Amino acid sequence: MVIGPDVILDLVFARGREALNAVMLFDAIAADTAAGVTSRRAYVAPATVTEVYSIVLHEAGVGKARSVVWGLLDLVQVAPAGNSEYKEAAMLSSDYEFAEALQFVACSSVGARYLVTNEDFGAKRLRVLRRSAAEMLPLFRRQALAEDRPAQV
């Protein structure tokens, strides 16, 4: 999964009811990280780190911005992006903002099925499956149940 900046900012600024879902999603990601689970990695697009840092810096200051980015990078990986990924995003930028296009390209580059966001991008069809933080939580629960079951003989 690739996590959009809106979900991260919901968590940071406790924005509305989406904040609770963002908290639960990042708690599940933290539990995976602590347990060494690698089958369900979380990523962000390269532009997401900059966007989150800039918004938090403006709203809450440099200390909070550093803390948020540091904590974020303890839980997620930044999707790799080289020249070809930026070119692909530029080709999509006639339909989407460039930062949004980079999120779609990040999904492709890491093989993610889901872009976790509350944004609908004004489109009926997207290049990847869009899910909210709340919609992602059952995937973590199903996996946890599967791991807790005794082995069948």
In order, the DSSP letters of the chain are -EE-HHHHHHHHHT-TTHHHHHHHHHHHHHHHHHHT--SS--EE-HHHHHHHHHHHHHHH-HHHHHHHHHHHHHH-EEPP--HHHHHHHHHHTTTS-HHHHHHHHHHHHHT-SEEE-S--TT-S--SSEEE-HHHHHHHHHHHHHHHHSPPP-
Confidence check: pLDDT of 151 > 80: no
Instruction: Give residue 93's pLDDT.
Output: 80
Confidence check: pLDDT of 124 > 70: no
Q: What average pLDDT does range 85-114 have in this prediction?
A: 91
Confidence check: pLDDT of 51 > 50: yes
Per-residue pLDDT tens over the stretch 23-36:
999 999 999 889 88
Percent of the chain with pLDDT over 70: 88
